[in-house]
Amino acid sequence: MENRKLNVFISQPMTNKSKEEIFIKRKQLIEKVQNYFQTDDLKFMKSYFEIKHSKRLKNESLYFLSKSLKVLSKSDVIIMASGWENSRGCRIEYECARLYDIMVIYEDTEYITRKNLLEVDHDSIAGN
> Considering the domain boundaries, does residue 113 fall inside one?
yes
Res 112: pLDDT:
41
The answer to the question of residue 94 being in a domain is yes
Per residue in 11-63, pLDDT tens? 999 989 999 999 999 999 999 899 888 888 999 998 887 766 657 778 888 88
Q: Establish if 14 belongs to a structural domain.
A: yes
Residue 125's pLDDT is what?
54
Range of the domain at 111: 6-124
pLDDT for position 23? 93
Express each pLDDT in 54-107 by its tens digit.
577 788 888 889 999 999 999 999 999 999 999 999 999 999 999 998 998 888
| Number of domains present in the structure of the chain | 1
Let me know if residue 96 belongs to a domain: yes
| In a domain? residue 66 | yes
CATH of residue 17: 3.40.50.450
Q: Is residue 1 part of a domain?
A: no
| Residue of 83, 76, 75 lying closest to 22 (CA atoms) | 83
Ramachandran angles phi, psi of 104, nearest 5°: -110, 130
Lowest mean pLDDT among 71-75, 110-114, 115-119: 110-114
pTM for the whole thing?
A: 0.78
List all residues 6 or more positions away from 71 whose beta carbon is below 8 Å from its beta carbon. 9, 45, 46, 47
Q: Output the CA torsion sign for 64, 73, 119, 88.
A: positive
Asked whether residue 28 is assigned to any structural domain, the reply reads: yes
